[in-house]
Amino acid sequence: MASSAATTATFCATLVDEWLHCGVRHAVVSPGSRSTPIALAIATRPEILLHIFHDERSAAFAALGIAKMSGVPAILVCSSGTAAVEFHPAVVEAHHAEVPILICTADRPAELQGVGAPQTIDQRNLYGVAVRKFVNAEVADDKDSHVWRDLARELFATSLGQVQGPVHLNMRFREPLLGTVSSLPQRDQRSATIAKEVPRFTNRNKRKLLRALESKRGLLVVGPENFRPDLVLNLASALRWPLLADPRSGTRVPNDVVVAAADSILRNEKFAEKMRPEIILRIGALPASKVVNSWLSSSGAQQIVLTTSQSLADPDQRCSMHLVGEIDEICEQIINATLKLNSSATFGDGSWLKQWASAEDSAQKSINAALADEKRITEPAIARAIYAGLPEASHLFVSSSMPIRDVEWFGAPRHGLRVHANRGANGIDGVVSTAVGVALASGQTTTLLIGDIALLHDVNGLLNLTNRNIDLRIVVVDNNGGGIFSFLPQAQALDPGVFETIFGTPHTADISLLAQAHKVAFHEINNLKELEEVLAQRGPWLARVVTDRQENVKVHERINQMVSAQLH
């Protein structure tokens, strides 16, 4: 017998067994009939944590959050037709953010393609270039059983390859969909280890880099990447360079080299002009701040970028040297070289670093003073308080648009907080669900800071939230529309009515009723004291803070003016 329900069941069970052996521990499944064989193969393995999401788009972002947190791809399963299409936004984000996912879409067999069968579309290469590998698996045939484990391992290895990302297995199933699993093919123990090959940091590149770093006025710009934060901080200290620390990098901690308020500081034109660096060493992704990125681009400094993959974010095309390798190894080699070469004579400048440290200290005091003067709770104050007040060993997920910027601009250095965001494609879709995924994978306190529009865009992320046994705390900044647009030229150039219709986009949704509909505890926050009290409570819960979009622009301006006025 070549093909049967039993063969299909055994095929799916083999894939799941091999993925378990590779280290997969989470599966996100959206209900559907055609996906029965793979869904049952997952459900019968207690080693896998199974998460059911009714909405496929929400499911895909949850799988993204799981992998973003754990570094291991989750299995993502749906039925056929438009169900598979709903995965696409998260697949695009995973592609750009280099997050691994094992996508399994169910499909009709060849005889039902192109004949008007229900829930049947052309799912071949459905996600285009957004996946690292696509495999169209026809109805399982037992004569191919010897390659089933190879297929599973190849997909897993590709997702975690040189450039991590999603892989897509389209699985054609013929009815009947229920079958009994027979003996699984034997595992090839020779392929037990999957190694990710990262280019070695050659002596030639080391010499080139060290020559380039021999500058008194250097600057480190550090974003999220795969490295040990302590090593990067030690590198900055060895070079005696200031470190502009993205909150997602893990390096925004109390340290003499760390600069957190770069956006506010560099709005002072005299300081920005005076403190132009000669060389910039960037590790990982770019900051969200347009002010910082524009200043880096226009500085005229040589820019060197270190990454662990071949992908390079360089929209202004200022990178003169892109080195790919293990960042920890590169940092250690540079640190050792500075010790041998007498760093005080070759690298850095004590007065240069002190000026940046003084500016950082002044900026943090000014931000505190500015926020203390505000009579109402403001969006910068919310971001600063959440960033400072979350417990040790917890996670903060920050939505795109204003929340990620407010955390980047106003989050003061601290220890013990890991920050996440969807900054691959920078969209606001799927934010709630991605945060749910982070909480599921971490098992630790996870707080989500999100705007009202982003929340409404992913309300289905709240489905079954109270049943997931996670400590998720959601703070919604409700300014009745798209707050970030009020900072753009359109806000002044357009008629207020036109601006509100197209960009402000006010809504009539009652967020408290949304929480009630999902049986999620709800809190109304009116001041920072109430925010502090609510943040101390275990989730899941949803809290709303009402702000005003126009006033928010003025608050940001006042803070930046106070920071600028105190810089010397």
Nearest alpha-carbon partner for 222 in 262, 194, 186: 262
Q: Tell me whether the omega of the peptide bond preceding residue 37 falls within 30 degrees of 0, making it cis.
A: no
Where exactly does CATH 3.40.50.970 map onto the chain?
A: 5-175, 373-566
Place of tokens 């039993």: 6
CA gap 364, 378 in Å, rounded: 17
Question: Which pLDDT does position 202 carry in this prediction?
Answer: 83
| Beta strands across the sheet bearing 446-451 | 417-420, 394-398, 446-451, 472-478, 541-546, 521-525
Report, as ranges of residue numbers, the positions in the chain whose pLDDT lies below 70. Answer: 1-2, 190-198, 341-348, 568
Angle at 483 between CA 493 and CA 513, to 5 degrees: 140
CATH level 3 topology of 373-566: Rossmann fold (3.40.50)
Question: Which pLDDT does position 1 carry in this prediction?
Answer: 45
Note the pTM of the prediction, 2 decimals: 0.95
User: Under a CB-based contact definition with an 8 Å cutoff, are residues 450 and 379 in contact?
Assistant: no
Question: Which pLDDT does position 2 carry in this prediction?
Answer: 60
Question: Which pLDDT does position 190 carry in this prediction?
Answer: 60
According to DSSP, residue 183 is labeled P
Q: Which string of DSSP letters, residue by residue, matches 503-516?
A: II------HHHHHH
Question: Which pLDDT does position 501 carry in this prediction?
Answer: 82
Q: Residue 52: which H helix or E strand, with range?
A: strand 49-52
According to DSSP, residue 73 is labeled P
Q: Which residues have C-beta within 8 Å of that of residue 349, sequence separation ≥ 6?
A: 216, 217, 240
**C-alpha 328, offset from chain centre:** 21
Where exactly does CATH 3.40.50.1220 map onto the chain?
A: 203-360
User: In CATH, which superfamily holds the domain spanning 203-360?
Assistant: TPP-binding domain (3.40.50.1220)
CATH class of 5-175: alpha beta
